[in-house]
Structure 1
């Protein structure tokens, strides 16, 4: 097992379903992504860069696309959602729309591709 799989195995069923669903979809969207760690968190990595982490925190689930620019690009759609420069916070009861998560993942992938092609 990898870092992400090990982390998911530790979660309760509800959190595992939400977090695992996001990570599974991200891996489908970016099949070259591999399990690893970034900033001490279990994460999907793409082209040796952190792509995405999703982790349980006290009172919320945090989605970490490792890019303030990606979070800012979706600021209008994230209006009313708790966020910071590096984190988007949500709950299982009020999840992020799947289409928004997909676009965040793809935007981060494209950002990595652009940085690696310089």
Structure 2
């Protein structure tokens, strides 16, 4: 077991990412709490999603930035080596060819830091909204 020296929470994994204290209430607060070197990519994804989904509401859901319109459309979250982008399993299938250079899993796209493809994210986000397929 590992105990966070800041908040005292105990975890199974060493140095596990978590929120010490109160969880963020906004997407901007979520991003500002991350390591400085990761913030530019996170702000780029946020800006891209705001442009692609202007009618969607930004919120924090499951401790992740989430875009919502009558249901969760998609989420993203920081990880140590990548940004987890969560558009749902149908989106990963639909964009399979465009995602061949990414590590993907059921409903998850892992975007390495420094390699954010804003146009691809925009297309995936619009597809999720337009088709009703979502995270």
TM range (shorter): 0.7 to 0.9
Per the alignment, residue 61 of structure 1 pairs with 83
Corresponding pairs, count: 111
Question: TM-score, normalised to structure 1's length?
Answer: 0.81
The structure whose Rg is larger is: 2
1:74 counterpart = 2:95 = yes
CA RMSD across the alignment: 2.1
Q: Give the deviation of 1:90 after TM superposition.
A: 1.8
Question: TM-score, normalised to structure 2's length?
Answer: 0.72
Query: Is the 2:52–2:122 Cα contact (8 Å) retained in structure 1?
Result: yes
Secondary structure in 1 matching 2:131: helix
Q: Give the deviation of 1:97 after TM superposition.
A: 2.2
| Unaligned ranges ≥5, structure 1 | none
Query: Is the 1:2–1:35 Cα contact (8 Å) retained in structure 2?
Result: no
Runs of 4 or more off by more than 2 Å in structure 1? Answer: 37-42
1:28 counterpart = 2:44 = no
1:91 counterpart = 2:116 = no
